[in-house]
Structure 1
Amino acid sequence: MALQDSVVVAGLPLSFDLPALGRSLRIDSRPAFMKRLEKLAGEVRSLARPQGVARLFPLAVVDGEHTKIGDVIFTSALMVRNMGQLARAFPYLATEGPELAAWSEALGSVFDRMLASALREKTVLQYRDALEARVLEQYGIRQLSAMSPGSLALWPIEQQAELFELMAPVPDELQLTLSSAFLMKPEYSVSGIFFETEQKYYNCRLCPQANCRNRKAACQAG
């Protein structure tokens, strides 16, 4: 993939904290279950071909609800609030890849597919974090925050269409598609926009799902 002003993450080895994952799945006291998790993790390391791509674009505020990134206009007052003082942004996509999705679908038991789902989620989050680290390093940025379409009502999931338009042809090269409900396939894929920030921003502060296992900040939703 040769795109100007792009950061690409591919071919990185996957690492899973299986004891911690076992605890989160509440199977850590069952040796047979943990052994099965370990076996599936080995298969994931062997089969998975995840990838992540971020791109640099100029940013300009249009008005109180619209931001122009590259040639695409996004609608979100929260985006204006978070990025209104910036001149650039880094939209990104990261995916588990079709190989891992196909492997999971072929598993014969509900239990195996449950374990596989946890491993697939960890896979794409590792690549998303690696992508953020590469952007920080490549552009000499001290800290990034991120927004993702659909994570909050303040930036609805329908804006996935604009993000895919902005990132073209990356979605096709990553074999990423959008459903009519704007959900990505492969299922374990993430999208969003990295932006420079002095104070770390987390969607979690505005999200009412207090019991989310991926929560990074206390809820401040009113």
Structure 2
Amino acid sequence: MMQRHDWLWLQPAAWHGVLAQAAQAGADWPELALWPQQAWPLVCARQTRPGVLSAGLSLPPAPDGGKRRLSLQLAPDALLRSSAPPLLSELTRSPDAPPALQHCAHRLHAWQLRVYGAHAWQWQTGLPYLHAGSDLDLLYYARSLDDLQAALRRWHACAQDCAQQGLRLDGEVILPDGAGLAWRECWQAMHSGGQVLLKRLHSVQLQDWGQVCAQLPRQDAPCAA
């Protein structure tokens, strides 16, 4: 089942429509021509319209540092295939992987983490997405309440260490039903309670942390806060 952040490869014929939407949006960016030439993917966005495939495309920052992003609406048959975003271990095998990324990946090597955002785009395309303030956006697919709580504790410890290397960890925990929760929001809620924002493929919902925990498979761990 397709999820947010998945990579989407398009049928070759679909790129004409993508470039037309870009032109209508005033996105006169030369690098866009590389996507159909290299068959690079788009990213699955939140799906808001029946019968329409919503996707996103990010380019490297503009010279003035501004973000360059496209929100695209495609016919479902434009999709050739989809896949989960790349594993962190795939990025670190690249000879161009930054030293800070290598250090943090070593701390995180025991996890099955996937990467999205600037680091994933640069790994896929070779274009210069990264800058001094680029976060490392990580996805972790939690299997249970115990797994979620253990992952949050590990993430917090690794985030502090990686920050000392100049790399800020960010991203989402993905629950078994596909809902995404921001790491930092989860960490705070685990200790203080309150509401968290659940981002699903078709919706966004605020929910009490206690309710989130109650809906997860559990072993022995109670829900903190």
Instruction: Give the TM-score normalised by structure 2.
Output: 0.27
The structure, 1 or 2, with the larger RCO (C-alpha pairs under 8 Å, 6+ apart) is: 1
- So what's the TM-score if we normalise by structure 1? 0.27
